[in-house]
Amino acid sequence: MKKGIVFVLSGPAGSGKSTVRERLMQKGRNFHYSVSDTTRKIRGAEKDGVDYRFITKKEFEDGIAAGNYYEYAQYTGEYYGTPVSQLTPYIEKGVNVILEIEVVGAMQVKKRDKNAVLVMLLPPSYAVLEKRLRDRGTESEEKILKRLARSREELQYFDEYDYFLLNEDGKIDECVRQLEMIAEAESNKTKNNPDFPNEFFK
Amino acid sequence: MKKGIVFVLSGPAGSGKSTVRERLMQKGRNFHYSVSDTTRKIRGAEKDGVDYRFITKKEFEDGIAAGNYYEYAQYTGEYYGTPVSQLTPYIEKGVNVILEIEVVGAMQVKKRDKNAVLVMLLPPSYAVLEKRLRDRGTESEEKILKRLARSREELQYFDEYDYFLLNEDGKIDECVRQLEMIAEAESNKTKNNPDFPNEFFK
């Protein structure tokens, strides 16, 4: 049976990755969105079990010890991780899984699954990224500078990703369409269809 | 400057690869079709310089000695090859090149260019392939059996190809669309855009 493919979507704050992922999910394609666990506090309109599963540090560390995480990482003192249960059962059933995770976790996924597809979402330039972060108008200068510094670190992983996608202002539909094309192309990879030659001669 | 990408299209006789390639070219996308040299005789409606460049054995072997071929192979005593001049200048100018070549040549391209994209075009099954070859009604039983035997050999290279495309009866447009999607996805590969991070921070 044909397995599902793991798609990792990463990108700096301000790249629009949540919006792109939500639009992709709305299209009702063969995707499961993997809900991560985190120990950080719930924010604004976030819903427990939808955006993240919000758990305690103790619960997260017990999960690590039990081998329940496919990948995990720590940022600013909080844990973020993908439970195996959000990934493996779907892949086995032939459903693609999309993870919206940071670069450190993405590298763990890449190591565990050679067929995982890593996509980095980016604004057209650093200048645009900075403008987007400032235009939000909700964050302190200190936080904006931290996010910008972090984006520089993230770009260092560019070569480790398979694809990059530009999310230009006002062109989010085009960006989602390109992500769909990547998914469709990947499903035509020979390595994702190892049984085909046998079926061909049946 | 962004370089063009080499796309190799292979597939058994009866897979429809010439038709798929012609339809792709008609769409006027950023593709150059690489016209191969061959020493075999011109057939039917073929045009010299369009389908192949038809040359003598002496000319071909002089070309090999001069290093003029990007790849070449021999089938049933005749040479087939891709002149460097059909490929390198286009890639350097950022134009994608499509080669319609056999598995042996494809392996040479793969060795020379890590970024080359190998696509194998296939009918849905061996039974369909056999039916297509017989329905042509123009070839001897011996020739049909030879072509079928050769298709078995070609399928052994399945894993060496990056992608496979099914060309189902009456669905050639779908097949061309998928080839276009592969091309678009490949143009979003980080390895095909190594200068992006520098441009990003400019």
- CATH for B6-34+94-201 is 3.40.50.300
d(CA A97, CA A33): 6
- Give me the percent of chain A exceeding a pLDDT of 70: 100
User: What pLDDT score was predicted for residue A13?
Assistant: 87
β-strand partners of A73: A80
pLDDT, tens digit (0-9, with 9 covering 90-100), for A144-174: 999 999 999 999 999 999 999 999 988 999 9
User: What pLDDT score was predicted for residue A152?
Assistant: 94
Cβ-defined contact of B162 to A126 (cutoff 8 Å): no
Which residues of chain B have a pLDDT value below 70? Answer: none
User: What pLDDT score was predicted for residue B13?
Assistant: 87
**Structure token digits, residue B142:** 């011996």
User: What pLDDT score was predicted for residue A28?
Assistant: 79
Cβ-defined contact of B122 to A200 (cutoff 8 Å): yes
Chain A residues with CB inside 8 Å of B186's CB?
185
* Whole-structure pTM value: 0.92
Min distance B197 CA to chain A CA atoms (Å): 7
Cα A135–Cα A138–Cα A141 angle in degrees, nearest 5: 80
Cβ-defined contact of B178 to A188 (cutoff 8 Å): yes
d(CA A126, CA A37): 30
Cβ-defined contact of A196 to B163 (cutoff 8 Å): no
User: What pLDDT score was predicted for residue B148?
Assistant: 93
Chain A residues with CB inside 8 Å of B165's CB?
188
- Give me the percent of chain A exceeding a pLDDT of 90: 87
Using the predicted structure, report yes or no on whether residue A29 has a pLDDT greater than 90.
Answer: no
Assigned fold of B36-86: Guanylate Kinase phosphate binding domain (3.30.63)
Question: From chain B, which residues contact A within 8 Å (Cβ)?
Answer: 120, 122, 125-126, 152, 155-156, 158-159, 161-165, 178, 181-182, 184-186, 188-191, 193-194, 196-197, 199-202
pLDDT, tens digit (0-9, with 9 covering 90-100), for A80-120: 999 999 999 999 999 999 999 999 999 999 999 999 999 99
**Structure token digits, residue B111:** 């060795």
Cβ-defined contact of A164 to B199 (cutoff 8 Å): no
The four Cα atoms B9, B12, B13, B16 give a dihedral, to 10 degrees, of: -50
Min distance A173 CA to chain B CA atoms (Å): 16
When pLDDT is cut at 50, 70 and 90, the band that residue A202 belongs to is: confident
- Which chain B residue's Cα is nearest to A183? B185
Neighbours of A72 (CB within 10 A): 21
Pick the CATH number of A35-86 from 3.30.63.10, 1.10.3720.10, 3.40.605.10, 1.10.357.10: 3.30.63.10
Position with higher pLDDT, A29 vs A44 = A44
Chain B residues with CB inside 8 Å of A182's CB?
185, 188
**Structure token digits, residue B104:** 């042996």
When pLDDT is cut at 50, 70 and 90, the band that residue A129 belongs to is: very high
ipTM, two decimals: 0.91
> Tokens 């002149």 appear where?
B83
User: What pLDDT score was predicted for residue B7?
Assistant: 98
**Domain limits of chain A?**
6-34+94-201, 35-86
User: What pLDDT score was predicted for residue A14?
Assistant: 86
Chain A residues with CB inside 8 Å of B161's CB?
190
When pLDDT is cut at 50, 70 and 90, the band that residue A30 belongs to is: confident
Cβ-defined contact of A178 to B188 (cutoff 8 Å): yes
The string of DSSP codes covering B116-153 is -EEEEEE-S-HHHHHHHHHHH--S-HHHHHHHHHHHHH
DSSP letter assigned to residue A85: G
**Structure token digits, residue A13:** 């704050």
Three-state SS at A129: helix
Min distance A45 CA to chain B CA atoms (Å): 32
Min distance B71 CA to chain A CA atoms (Å): 23
Using the predicted structure, report yes or no on whether residue A1 has a pLDDT greater than 80.
Answer: no
Of A185, A191, A199, which has the smallest distance from its Cβ to B185's Cβ? Answer: A185
Chain B residues with CB inside 8 Å of A103's CB?
none
Cβ-defined contact of B186 to A188 (cutoff 8 Å): no
Stretch A18-30: mean pLDDT, rounded? 90
Chosen from A121, A184, A200 to mutate, greatest number of chain B CBs within 10 A:
A200
Whether A117 contacts A9, CB under 8 Å: no
User: Residue A15 corresponds to which amino acid?
Assistant: S
